[in-house]
Amino acid sequence: MRNANYISAISRMRKEKNAIILAHYYQTADIQDIADFVGDSLALAQKAAYNKADIILFAGVKFMAETAKIICPEKKILLPDIDAGCSLADSCTADELKKFIAVNPGRTVVAYINSTTEIKAMADIICTSANAVHVIESLPENGKILFVPDRNLGSYIREKTGRDIVVWEGACHVHENFSAEGILRLKKENPEAEILVHPECESAVRQLADYIGSTAGMLEYTAGNKNKAYIVATEPGIIHQMKLRRADAKYLAAPRKDFPFAANDCNFMKTITIEKIYNCLKYEEPVIRLDPVLINSARTAVERMLDISKIFAGSR
Ligand code: 13P
Ligand code: SF4
């Protein structure tokens, strides 16, 4: 079947089944274009929490679909490829975190949403890249914090807040692969370009930034500013949305360390295809199944983040 036929079948099925498709900005352009809603990790969690669909199909990775299941366990949550994981989330297991807490006792555990459900169940509060600073600032000023699993976002929020934070040594293979030298070279060739950096990037790359923020933050930045060129240091799927909002600007994907001319795609995000979405909606599989006890343990920390995000809405 051709892509166009899959797309019309998907549109018909989602109406019949009262289903919505939520897509992350790192999905391919064709998937972003058919989604009911495209967003960053925070917006997707919020959208899952506040909607009336019976089925949510997640065009994203497993931790995102599992977060939706934690927030609304009564809904059917579908993930078109159950192997769409996340190297960052997988870098910290529950047993490893137990040991890390044992050697760093008495700290509030803050888990990045890019973590497994088992880790969320052990956390006091969750954050995303869009609200991490607000979440940390919502905690008592003299309290000590343990942050998992991203070392780069962890060091970024420590710099921004000045809080006592110990950080798990995990990293995202996409965001750690941007080359500071390559970005400087690109800036030399395009001196008018502003450098936009995701906080999952290493400190050497963050130091070059004109703007640091989540994918949604970057998008707001480019849409609301008149600069003519941007160097984008995050997964290049976001550039599709940047072009939709402002076609007049030039968007240059930041170069990788290993293969400077190859796209720095997240291979987990890019396992999702239109054909897999069609099959998933048709057969309602793969479906996210989580132990209800685990869901209950993880929900408090996720809801605490959603409540804080309501307070800080619009300030990212
Ligand atoms: P945001 O969606 O919070 O910008 O995070 C990026 C990311 O790595 C998602 O996997
Ligand atoms: Fe995980 Fe990195 Fe891919 Fe995001 S971009 S899903 S953090 S591996």
Q: pLDDT for 107-128, tens place per residue?
A: 999 999 999 999 999 999 999 9
What pLDDT is stored for residue 111 in this prediction?
A: 98
Q: Clarify whether residues 123 and 144 are in a common domain.
A: yes
What pLDDT is stored for residue 57 in this prediction?
A: 98
Q: Is 86 in the pocket of ligand 2 (CB under 6 A)?
A: yes
| Beta-strand relationship, 165-167 and 125-127 | unpaired
What pLDDT is stored for residue 313 in this prediction?
A: 47
Residue 226 lies in a domain: yes
Residue 264 lies in a domain: no
Q: Which two tokens stand for residue 237?
A: 């799927």
| Identity of the amino acid at 270 | K
Q: Could you tell me the residue range of the domain that residue 206 belongs to?
A: 175-253
Distance, in Å, from the CA atom of 208 to the CA atom of 129, rounded to the nearest integer, reads: 18
Count of domains in the chain?
3
Q: Clarify whether residues 12 and 77 are in a common domain.
A: yes
Residue 258 lies in a domain: no
What pLDDT is stored for residue 149 in this prediction?
A: 98
Q: Clarify whether residues 247 and 275 are in a common domain.
A: no
Share of the chain above pLDDT 70, in %: 98
Q: Clarify whether residues 161 and 144 are in a common domain.
A: yes
The b/e string for 286-303 (b: 16+ C-beta within 10 A; e otherwise) is bebebeeebbebbeebbe
What pLDDT is stored for residue 316 in this prediction?
A: 33
What pLDDT is stored for residue 315 in this prediction?
A: 34
Q: Clarify whether residues 24 and 11 are in a common domain.
A: yes
Cα-to-centroid distance, 48 and ligand 1 (Å): 16
Look up the pTM and report it: 0.96
Kindly give the residue spans of alpha helices, DSSP state H, lying in the chain. 3-16, 29-34, 41-49, 62-71, 94-103, 117-122, 132-137, 151-161, 180-189, 203-206, 215-223, 238-245, 274-283, 292-311
**Ligand 2 pocket mutation, candidates 235, 238, 267, 271, criterion most atoms within 8 A of CB:** 235
Q: Clarify whether residues 277 and 299 are in a common domain.
A: no
Cα-to-centroid distance, 32 and ligand 1 (Å): 15
Residue 263 lies in a domain: no
Residue 262 lies in a domain: no
What pLDDT is stored for residue 130 in this prediction?
A: 95
Using DSSP, state whether 55 is helix, strand or coil.
strand
Cβ neighbours of residue 195 under 8 Å, at least 6 residues apart? Answer: 183, 187, 208, 209, 210, 211, 230, 231, 233, 254
Residue 167 gets the label, from left (phi > 0), alpha (psi -120 to 50) or beta, of: beta
What pLDDT is stored for residue 311 in this prediction?
A: 56
CATH of residue 117: 3.40.50.10800
Instruction: Please say whether the beta carbons of 193 and 187 come within 8 A.
Output: yes
Measuring CA to CA, how many Å separate 248 from each of 34, 229, 296?
24, 9, 47
Instruction: Please say whether the beta carbons of 218 and 238 come within 8 A.
Output: yes
Q: Clarify whether residues 79 and 106 are in a common domain.
A: no
Q: Is 172 in the pocket of ligand 2 (CB under 6 A)?
A: yes
Residue 260 lies in a domain: no
Cα-to-centroid distance, 200 and ligand 1 (Å): 8
**Ligand 1 pocket mutation, candidates 32, 38, 40, 42, criterion most atoms within 8 A of CB:** 40
Q: Is 153 in the pocket of ligand 2 (CB under 6 A)?
A: no
Positions in the chain whose pLDDT score sits under 70: 311-316
What pLDDT is stored for residue 314 in this prediction?
A: 40
Q: Clarify whether residues 154 and 199 are in a common domain.
A: no
Q: Clarify whether residues 205 and 273 are in a common domain.
A: no
Give the ligand at the shortest distance from the Cα of 264. Answer: 2
Cβ neighbours of residue 191 under 8 Å, at least 6 residues apart? Answer: none
